[in-house]
């Protein structure tokens, strides 16, 4: 009785499952990164448009932009740990 084909078959299934799990983890990480870019990119873009359209908003949007950049860097460090 030869058990080798069954052992190889189990190894193939385990390898396939680990590849699928890794692909799912990468997909979830990519979705989180896209969501994070939208959260911080949209307010910064709006701030830049306001700065370009009216000089009065310049100091406000600069401070908001700096705050968002700092918050983004803090959150990215938190998610990486």
- For the chain, 81 residues long, the average pLDDT of each consecutive 10-residue run is 55 75 84 73 69 59 74 71 53
- pLDDT value of residue 1: 47
How far apart CA 18 and CA 14 sit, in angstroms, is 6
Dihedral angle of Cα 43, 49, 54, 57, to the nearest 10 degrees:
20
pLDDT confidence of residue 6: 55
pLDDT at site 61: 62
Q: Report CA 28 to chain centroid distance, whole Å.
A: 8
Torsion of Cα atoms, 56 then 60 then 61 then 62, to 10°? 110
């Amino acid at each position: 009785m030869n058990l080798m084909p069954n052992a190889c078959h189990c190894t193939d299934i385990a390898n396939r499952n680990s590849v699928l799990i890794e692909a799912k983890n990468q997909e979830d990480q990519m979705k989180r990164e896209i969501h994070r870019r939208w959260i911080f990119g949209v307010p910064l873009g709006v701030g830049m448009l306001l700065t370009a359209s009216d000089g009065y908003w310049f100091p406000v949007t600069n401070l908001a932009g700096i705050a968002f950049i700092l918050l983004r860097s803090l959150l990215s460090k938190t998610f990486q740990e």
